[in-house]
Amino acid sequence: MTNKKNHKHETHEIKIEAEATPELENQPQADVEALMGQLKDAESKLAESVEGWQRSQADFQNYRKRVERDNEMNYASMKSDIIKKILPVLDDLERALQNRPADDAWGSGVELIARKFQNILDVEGVKRIEAAGAEFDPRFHEAISHEHNEDFESGHVIEVVQNGYMLGERVIRPALVRVAQ
């Protein structure tokens, strides 16, 4: 119980001192208010700094994603440009194979070269656009003629004159086709 008495006594002494010196009574309260103001200022500056840092991080992440996307697009564009330049060689090999004599020993070699060439394109993700007998689609086909043909419905591909190719979802070269009227 003596602890409680001492505690009351100490509190009482502080009140007595505060009452005895009125200028000190406002001093601690003013210091606390000033410190609270400084704390609020510091907290708002910290919040601004954190928000700025978060915006910078988000901007950097967006920049990094944009650069990666641009690099992927540039890579795909360069790859498709190279493939476009090589496709006519494959076309020539295929035409040579279609018109080769039956007893031509060189034809087997040309066929082997064409298959290797096609395998390289397959590995690179290049797919041939299947057009024969399909409905004409201007996204994948380029019509070089419209002809009357009783064997095909109107708007369907009669014959593929030149194969079309895609790299992923992108058309590298549309198929040149003859279309039924």
93 has pLDDT over 60:
yes
d(Cα 152, Cα 174) in Å, to the nearest integer? 21
Question: What whole-number distance in Å separates Cα of residue 129 and Cα of residue 121?
Answer: 13
CB atoms inside a 10 Å sphere around CB 86 = 13
Residue 21 pLDDT > 60: no
What is the pLDDT, as a whole number, of residue 25? 56
What are the pLDDT digits (tens) for 100-130? 877 777 888 888 999 999 999 999 999 999 9
Contact criterion met (CB below 8 Å) for 131 and 162: no
Question: pTM score > 0.75 for this model?
Answer: no
How confident is the model over 30-41, as pLDDT tens digits?
788 889 889 999
**Average pLDDT value for residue range 85-89:** 93
Q: Once rounded to an integer, what is the mean pLDDT over residues 80-88?
A: 93
Predicted confidence (pLDDT) per residue in 126-159, tens digit: 999 999 989 999 999 999 999 998 888 889 999 9
Contact of 107 with 129, CB cutoff 8 Å = no
